[in-house]
Amino acid sequence: MKKRFFLLILIIFLLNIVACRRAAPPPVRKRPESLAPKVEADLFISPIEVKQKLESGGNFLLIDVDNPESYRVVKGTIGGMVIPLSELERRLEELKKFKNQEIIVYSLTGQKSMQAVKILRRNGFPKAKSMKGGMIEYQRLIVP
């Protein structure tokens, strides 16, 4: 009887150990580190690269998506079409001829231009890029 009782306790103890054993967590699939820089590089262009393109006269379209009031904050513009962000979706038709051309979008801080790039890409403009940092960064880096 004592042997059976001892054996029963031992079996319960072993089952308890097996049942409570922690299973190894499933492996976490990491995204390749190389994807993040590629995505960012694909969406942005630096002010220095924009200046070089302007000087070389490259084949690209430049779009300013700020409202005219923004010019009071930072003097100047680097040219291009002026299409305020609030009008961009309504005016996509006039940009259709530039679908396969590089499009550089800028704004005062770069926030509106990033929104504009998302709109353009969603509507079939795969080469649209935002000038990183906007006109503030352009003037900080380029204008003496």
Contact assessment for residue 120 and residue 128, using Cβ atoms and an 8 Å cutoff: yes
Q: Which tens digits make up the pLDDT trace of 19-29?
A: 666 656 666 66
Contact assessment for residue 109 and residue 47, using Cβ atoms and an 8 Å cutoff: no
Interatomic CA distance for residues 48 and 139, integer angstroms:
10
The pLDDT-based confidence of 143 (bands split at 50, 70, 90) is confident
Q: What is the pLDDT of residue 128?
A: 98
Structural domains of the chain, with CATH:
59-141 (3.40.250.10)
Q: Which is higher by pLDDT, 129 or 1?
A: 129
Q: What is the pLDDT of residue 12?
A: 76
Q: Which is higher by pLDDT, 119 or 18?
A: 119
Contact assessment for residue 68 and residue 82, using Cβ atoms and an 8 Å cutoff: yes
Structure tokens at 88: 């961009």
